[in-house]
Amino acid sequence: MTYELLRFVHLAGMGLIAGGLIGVFVGDVRARQVRDVVRFAEVVRAMAVFYDGVVVPGALLLAASGARTTGRHWASRSPWRSRSRDCCAT
């Protein structure tokens, strides 16, 4: 994979996390306002869908793309292998 694709996937993961957490926050605010048990259950179910369906896949995308980007960047040059070489030169 190229750097641009990994960067896009990383940003998409961040967007999924942000959108999912906003949905969970809005659901939490709604859950605190309702007085009916049935509506409360609906809001809690929607919060679970946002968390399990949006936040967790976003976190997995973010972790996978970050690990892959780091692995590709440091694959041939390790900063702790040799202090005499410039570790950050491309």
pTM: 0.74
Q: What is the pLDDT of residue 22?
A: 94
- Torsion-angle region of residue 23: left (phi > 0), alpha (psi -120 to 50) or beta? alpha
Number of domains the chain contains = 1
Residue 86 lies in a domain: no
Residue 33 lies in a domain: yes
Residue 37 lies in a domain: yes
Residue 21 lies in a domain: yes
Domain boundaries, position 32? 3-72
Residue 66 lies in a domain: yes
Average pLDDT over residues 60-67: 92
Confidence of residue 86 (pLDDT cuts 50, 70, 90): low
Residue 79 lies in a domain: no
Average pLDDT over residues 52-66: 93
12-53 pLDDT, tens digit per residue, is 999 999 999 999 999 999 999 999 999 999 999 999 998 999
Instruction: Please tell me the distance from the alpha carbon of residue 12 to that of residue 40, in angstroms, as a whole number.
Output: 31
Instruction: Please tell me the distance from the alpha carbon of residue 44 to that of residue 47, in angstroms, as a whole number.
Output: 5
Residue 83 lies in a domain: no
